Amino acid sequence: MQAEASLDRSLSLPGSPASAGQARRFVRRLLDDAGRSDWVDGATLAASELVTNALLHAHSPIEFRVKVFGDHVRVEVRDFNPTLPSARAYDDHATTGRGLELVAAVALAHGVESLGEEGKVVWFCVGGEDVANDAAPEQLLAEWSQLGEFTGTRLPVQDAVAVVLRDMPATLWLAAREHHDALLRELALLHAAADAAEHDGSWADLAAADAARFTIGAALDEEVRRARESGAAAVPLPQYHPGALPSVPPTMDLTVRVGREQAASFAQLQDALDAGERLANADRLLVRPGLPEIIAVRDWACEQVIAQVAGSPAAPWMGADDERFTEVVDSARVPSGWDAGKVTESAVGVIAVDDGNRVIAVSGPLAQVLGWAAQDLVGRRVVAIVPPRFREAHVAGFSRHLSTGDARALGVALELPVLRADGTEVLCEFLIDSEPTPSGRTVYLAWITPIGAA
């Protein structure tokens, strides 16, 4: 690399969504002025990604610096949050968790420099081949992946209240957190893409929402670590998502310290996630809408924080076996262009479920085994045939699949108990597969054969 840059410019950016657009325009203008328009696409893409990460997770102003050399451009994004990126375990098809890998894919060199309590600098270079690190591109991508995404920071604690989330369903919350990550990420990108200095006042403060999300998540991570070190019993995860989520205690009383002035951030988290759910339901986001339990557990957690800070006693999580999760859902519809006859006319046990976890078709033989009339089972969520002790794990696994693309259960022979209409169980062989539809949605088919009483 050359010792001195031919052009070295800095830009101070506020922690607001419009900053990503300002950064893109700044890079483009400097590279065009330097006669290096061939670097613009890669540099603006990577710069936008890093600024968006900082906007959503650093919760601080940003110092943006561009150095143009004869054979490359170096872009630096400095924030004032000391938290460094941490690893994520997202699948290749996830709609979040891919940011730094995207940077690695377009950059020839990149890195993170800690400034201690003064924050950090994330940088990348785009340009000539001589800029590249000594490692092969595949190795660079792996190193970036080990750093993972920026995960945020806790809310500042002043005049703290110890909020107790009683009977927190750890596995369900871990899956919910991945869905929250995806929603907040897409909301931030949506804001950034707008390039507007002013945004609709109905949008929640994403930085505050993200801090609230991280505060609960960090407390849960610490409690899970303590439980493992103490040898606490872990919930046995059923076979349909082996290894997808860490084995954790089935429930725990989670203590979260929240400052009285920060309680409002948990309402902002609800507002932001509600806005994301509306957009997801309208097919305006890549992420699919959250399952009812995923929405219910975050509402419960946020409302408990707000209520307990105001002086109310703790109320436990009601559990995923609540009847409201198994009722008929009006929005269960056969996707356009998909033939339900392959299920309804089948001579073997098979059930079809949409990407909202709702039953859209069931064969006569399977309905008979389950003790349901086929027309009464259609429209219900599939948790209606999942034994209550496995429902939260099922929801966690399916939600993780929707959020991250994890598909460990597809095409794998399983043996699982199924809940019949009269409350008894029957042990069955399962083979689950997915099938794309002409409308772009996915249908999940499960061939189910009883093998004896559970």
Provide the CATH number for the domain around residue 55. 3.30.565.10
> Average pLDDT, stretch 249-264?
87
Confidence class for position 312, pLDDT limits 50, 70, 90: very high
Residue 429 counted as domain residue: yes
The pLDDT, as a whole number, for residue 141 is 40
- Please indicate, yes or no, whether residues 72 and 193 belong to a single structural domain of this protein: no
Q: pLDDT tens digits for 158-170? A: 678 999 999 999 8
Q: Give the CATH number for residue 400.
A: 3.30.450.20
- Please indicate, yes or no, whether residues 11 and 139 belong to a single structural domain of this protein: yes
The pLDDT, as a whole number, for residue 30 is 93
- Please indicate, yes or no, whether residues 139 and 243 belong to a single structural domain of this protein: no
Q: Closest Cα to residue 367, out of 378, 383, 354? A: 378
Domain final position from 81, 114, 147? 147
Find the distance separating the first CA and the last CA of the chain, reported in whole Å.
68
Dihedral sign for Cα atoms in the order 387, 391, 397, 399: positive
The pLDDT, as a whole number, for residue 230 is 73
Residue 326 counted as domain residue: no
Confidence class for position 452, pLDDT limits 50, 70, 90: low
Residue 324 counted as domain residue: no
- Please indicate, yes or no, whether residues 197 and 286 belong to a single structural domain of this protein: yes
> Average pLDDT, stretch 18-29?
88
The pLDDT, as a whole number, for residue 57 is 73
Domain final position from 101, 122, 147? 147
- Please indicate, yes or no, whether residues 78 and 179 belong to a single structural domain of this protein: no
Least confident of 131-140, 170-179, 266-275: 131-140
Between 319 and 316, the more confident residue is: 316
Q: pLDDT tens digits for 189-223? A: 777 665 544 444 444 477 788 888 888 988 888 88
- Please indicate, yes or no, whether residues 183 and 313 belong to a single structural domain of this protein: yes
Please state, rounded to an integer, the average pLDDT across all residues of the chain: 80
Question: What does the CA dihedral 247, 250, 256, 261 come to, rounded to 10 degrees?
Answer: 110
The pLDDT, as a whole number, for residue 3 is 60
- Please indicate, yes or no, whether residues 186 and 285 belong to a single structural domain of this protein: yes
Question: What does the CA dihedral 369, 371, 375, 377 come to, rounded to 10 degrees?
Answer: -90
- Please indicate, yes or no, whether residues 121 and 228 belong to a single structural domain of this protein: no
The pLDDT, as a whole number, for residue 119 is 87
The pLDDT, as a whole number, for residue 363 is 96
Residue 333 counted as domain residue: no
Number of helices (H), then strands (E), in the chain: 12, 12
- Please indicate, yes or no, whether residues 375 and 413 belong to a single structural domain of this protein: yes
The pLDDT, as a whole number, for residue 85 is 63
Residue 229 counted as domain residue: yes
C-alpha 283, offset from chain centre:
17
Confidence class for position 135, pLDDT limits 50, 70, 90: very low
- Please indicate, yes or no, whether residues 89 and 189 belong to a single structural domain of this protein: no
Residue with tokens 């006859």: 341
Residue 87 counted as domain residue: yes
Residue 237 counted as domain residue: yes
CB 251 within 8 A of CB 168: yes
76 is in which domain, residue-wise? 7-147
Least confident of 192-196, 276-280, 299-303, 412-416: 192-196
* For residue 147, pLDDT beyond 60: no
> Average pLDDT, stretch 255-277?
91
Confidence class for position 97, pLDDT limits 50, 70, 90: very low
Domain count of the chain?
A: 3
Q: Which H or E element spans position 167?
A: strand 160-168
Taking only Cα atoms into account, the Rg of the chain, rounded to an integer number of angstroms, comes to: 24
- Please indicate, yes or no, whether residues 62 and 143 belong to a single structural domain of this protein: yes
- Please indicate, yes or no, whether residues 55 and 187 belong to a single structural domain of this protein: no
